[in-house]
Amino acid sequence: MTVDGIIELLKKLLDVLIVWLVLYYILKSLRKNVKMIMLFKGVLIILVLKIISYKLSLTTIDFLLDYVVTWGPLALIVIFQPEIRNVLEQLGRSQLLGRHKILTVDERERVVYEIITAMDQLRKNRIGALIVIERDQSLNEYIEKSKKIYADISSELLMAIFFPNNPLHDGGVIIQGDKITSARAVFPTSDNLKISKRLGTRHRAALGIAEETDCISLIVSEETGRVSMAVNSELHYNLTIDELKIMLLEELHPKKIVIPDDEEEKVNEENN
């Protein structure tokens, strides 16, 4: 194979790779967005009707669907502009280099201990709280609009922030690594229809930011004192403190890096 042939092959592979990446992010966004799922189903129904009308020679329906197919994409862009913007913003928030800070085992356990201690006291005193922990996707957009703190994490500071008479208690706290970065952060609320109507704005905001990013949202209900976690676009409601601690430790655990067999053998030889 000539050099030109190799270059042409690489171009085709790059082309296919880009298409697959675009499809991956579209499907990932569909999985997390109820409105986008409904949109996708609607498009599929229209395509099926178009095929049926063409095969059965249904002239009137086929004529009307031609207009829908021609002008539909423009109408969808206008109608679903907020959802499209959210998908693009989500891509922009992705951090190629991963988490804000990779915590050691001791640091991770200390962070979880301080958070759990604070949430246990907050629930006992029926004080509402929303704590959001950044992971791979950046939360700088929300940090910029909140009150900056950047202090070492501690249960005492978390409890003080959410104390009702504290001017910082409204909104949520954002944690990056082992630091409390900001308070009074405002997050988008979820439009998920499966959420119970009894749940308030705090729970909807926790799920909303967990739908848009890969963060971990922790909630203490002011009305009931129950603690919950929103992660991976799912709301785990009314957890025990022990359940919350176990789930939080698992979610904060560093992602495993797959090492090829030959590289692993080389590392083992160097260590020996």
Tens of pLDDT, residue by residue over 21-52, are 877 776 666 565 566 677 777 778 888 888 88
Provide the 10 A C-beta neighbour count for residue 7: 10
Determine the pLDDT at residue 268.
55
Name the CA radius of gyration of the chain, rounded.
24
Determine the pLDDT at residue 99.
43
Longest dimension (CA), the chain: 77
Residue from 217, 258, 253, 246 nearest 234 by CA = 217
Provide the 10 A C-beta neighbour count for residue 186: 13
Say which amino acid occupies 31.
Answer: R
Token pair 């095969």 in the structure block, residue:
55
pLDDT in tens, 220-234: 999 999 999 999 989
Kindly indicate the confidence band of residue 85, based on its pLDDT and cuts at 50, 70 and 90.
low
Domains of the chain plus CATH, in order, are 3-93 (no CATH), 105-252 (3.40.1700.10)
Determine the pLDDT at residue 48.
86
Is the distance from CB of 204 to CB of 195 less than 8 angstroms?
yes
Is the distance from CB of 203 to CB of 228 less than 8 angstroms?
yes
Contacts of 77 (CB under 8 A, 6+ apart): 84
Question: In degrees, to the nearest 5, what angle opens at C-alpha 187 toward C-alphas 182 and 188?
Answer: 170
Determine the pLDDT at residue 8.
83
**Alpha-carbon gap, residue 89 to 209, rounded angstroms:** 12
- On the CB side of 259, CA atoms within 13 Å amount to 8
Output the six-digit token pair for 253.
């655990």
pLDDT at 86 > cutoff 70: no
Output the pTM of the full model: 0.63
Token pair 């009707």 in the structure block, residue:
49
pLDDT at 236 > cutoff 50: yes
Whole-angstrom CA distances from 123 to 41, 118, 129, 223 are 41, 9, 9, 10
Determine the pLDDT at residue 257.
47
Determine the pLDDT at residue 46.
82
**Helix 81-93, helix 3-32: angle, nearest 10:** 120
**Mean pLDDT across the chain, nearest whole number?**
82
Choose between 122 and 90: higher pLDDT.
122
Is the distance from CB of 87 to CB of 29 less than 8 angstroms?
yes
